[in-house]
């Protein structure tokens, strides 16, 4: 018989959220080696309320101790993405969750030490560390091509790895 004590601590879960044009890339983990879930929550048709419903579902699903989002202050992104990140931040604060944010510049600086300069290079570096992502691997994008559907997953992984690298 296994006895559960009241001192048993719930593992520290981190939820990484990266909104993009297809939905929200996410990673749920206990650390960079303990990935519990990841994917892209598709949002169609695109609306602010649908994004927030997906975020609320993810927050209720994993009950994280820490939420990580992208910091857009030094970057040109759409007003829609700014509103989504601001709403995610407000939602996390309302639920008294720890919140961290990292900019695209910080992500690039971290991955530069691994000789990854572009989003594609970063995705390929992540793929080398997490071979289970092979089915989601993006194609090399040419200037006139749209971003790969699954790139949001790799963006979320890059954000997660940046956090653990810098902490």
Q: Classify 92 as helix, strand or coil.
A: helix
How long is the chain?
A: 167
Enumerate the domain spans of the chain. 14-166
Are 101 and 67 a contacting pair, CB within 8 Å?
A: no
- The tens-digit pLDDT sequence of the chain (167 residues) is 344 444 445 568 999 999 888 889 999 999 999 999 999 998 888 788 888 898 999 999 999 999 999 887 766 667 777 888 888 888 888 888 999 999 889 999 999 999 999 999 999 999 999 999 999 988 888 888 877 788 999 999 999 999 999 98
Short-list 9, 17, 5, CA closest to 100: 17
What's the pTM value of the predicted model, to 2 decimals?
Answer: 0.87
Edge-to-edge order in the sheet of strand 14-19? 34-42, 23-31, 14-19, 66-71, 98-103
Res 44: pLDDT: 83
CATH assignment of 14-166, among 3.30.420.10, 3.40.50.300, 3.20.20.140, 1.10.1200.10: 3.30.420.10
């Amino acid at each position: 018989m296994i006895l559960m004590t009241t001192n048993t601590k719930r593992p520290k879960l981190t939820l990484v959220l990266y909104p993009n044009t297809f939905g929200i890339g996410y990673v749920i983990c206990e650390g960079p080696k303990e990935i519990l879930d990841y994917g892209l929550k598709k949002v169609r048709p695109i609306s602010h309320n649908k994004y927030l419903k997906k975020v609320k579902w993810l927050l209720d699903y994993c009950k994280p101790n820490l939420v990580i989002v992208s910091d857009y202050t030094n970057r040109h992104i759409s007003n829609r993405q700014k509103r989504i990140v601001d709403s995610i931040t407000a939602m996390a604060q309302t639920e008294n969750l720890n919140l961290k944010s990292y900019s695209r510049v910080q992500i690039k600086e971290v991955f530069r030490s691994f000789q990854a300069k572009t989003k594609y290079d970063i995705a390929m570096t992540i793929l080398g560390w997490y071979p289970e992502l092979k089915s989601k691997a993006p194609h090399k994008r040419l200037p006139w091509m749209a971003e790969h559907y699954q790139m949001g997953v790799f963006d979320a992984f890059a954000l997660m790895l940046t956090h653990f690298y810098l902490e």
